[in-house]
Amino acid sequence: MGSGSKIKFAICEVLQFASFCVPLFIIMQRFALIVAQVRSQLQPIGGNTTTAYWLIVASSVAYVTSMTMLIWLPMKYMVFMKKKALVDGKKWRPVALAYMLLSTLPCFAFLIASSELQIRNDLRMDTFAELPVSLLLFSLICIDIVERIRHCRLTGQANELARDADIPTMITHIGRVTQTVTPTTGPPPTATNASAGAEHGVGSANWIVRGLPADARAEVFVDSFLFWFDTVEMVRVAGHMPVYFSGWALPIYLFCFLSTTRLVLTPHSPLLSSLGVALQDLPFLILRISLIAIFGFVTPLLYVMKNLLVCLSYIYFNFMTKLRFFNTERLF
C-alpha cells in the first residue's frame, strides 16, 4: 500500500468514524438538556438538575466507546481481511448495516423520546429542526459516498477498480462520420473517389460524440444527495412545531428510519427499487396525505405527486402490464 493509498484509507476511516459517533453525541446532548429541564420542573427550588444531564452524556461516551471496541473495529478488520461471511456476493454493505444499527437507530430513538417527553411534560423546548437532524442525514450521505468511492483513486483519472465500485457507469457512444466535399462545378464525385478523397484529406473524417464523457466519481456525490432528498424533506416536516408536539413525530421518524435502511444494499442491487416503493414512497405518500389533511400544506404537493407517481408506475409496469388486457399491441 503506497503513501497515497494510506492517506486515502485514513481519510475514509476518519470520515466514517466521525459519521458514526458525532450525530450520537449531538442528539444525546440535546436530549440530556430536555431531561434536565424536566427534572427542574419536578424537583423543588434549589434541587440538583445536573446529575441527569451528566449521566446521559457519560452514557453516550460509554456507549460509543464500547460499540467501537466490541463491534465497529472487529467488523472493520473482518471486512478488510475479506472474510467471505461479510463481503461475499457484494449484495450488501456490512459497514452500512453496522452504522444503521449502532448509530442511526439510537439517534431516531432519542428523537422520538425527546418528542414524547416534551409532550407529556408540556414543554416546548427543542424540535431538533436543524443541526442534529441535518447532521444525522449528512452522516448517512457521507457513509454512502465513502462506501461507493473508496475503491477508486482520488487523483488523476479513474482506475480499473472503478468497475468494481458501486458507482454509475456512463457508456459513451462514438461514431465515425465520413464527410465528402462536393465541388461547385463538374460531375459529382463517385463513391470510390469520395472514399479516396477522405483518406487523403479532401474529405474530413470527423469523430462525433452522442454523450459527453463524465467522471463517474463526481457523479457519486450528486447521486448520493439526490437519493436522500425525499427522506430529508420528510424529516423536515417533523421539525414543524405543530407536527412535532402533536405525536406525529413518532410515525414520521419511524418510517424515515425504515427508509434509510436501503443504505445497506448496494446501488446496483435488484431489490433496491422494490424496497424504495415499500419502505419509502408508499409510507411517505400515506403520511403526507394525512399530514396535509390535518395540518395543511406542511409538505409540498410536489413530493406527494412524486410518491404517487412512483407507486402507480411501479405497480403498472411490473404487474398490470403482464395482464392479458394490457399485453397487446393493438392500441399502443
Q: What is the DSSP letter of 92?
A: B
Position 91 scores a pLDDT of 78
Q: Domain residues of the chain, as ranges?
A: 3-155+215-322, 174-209
Q: Are 102 and 71 in contact (CB under 8 A)?
A: yes
Query: pLDDT by residue (tens digit) across 300-328?
Result: 999 999 999 999 999 988 888 777 766 66
All three cell numbers of 305: 405527486
Mean pLDDT in residue range 189-210: 42
Q: What angle do CA 131, 132, 137 make, to 5 degrees?
A: 100
- Gyration radius from the chain CA atoms: 28
SS3 79: helix
Q: Are 124 and 118 in contact (CB under 8 A)?
A: yes
Q: Are 32 and 49 in contact (CB under 8 A)?
A: no
pTM: 0.78
Closest to 127 in 3D by CA, of 12, 225, 31, 1: 31
pLDDT-derived band at 94 (thresholds 50, 70, 90) equals confident
Residues in the chain: 332
Position 93 scores a pLDDT of 87
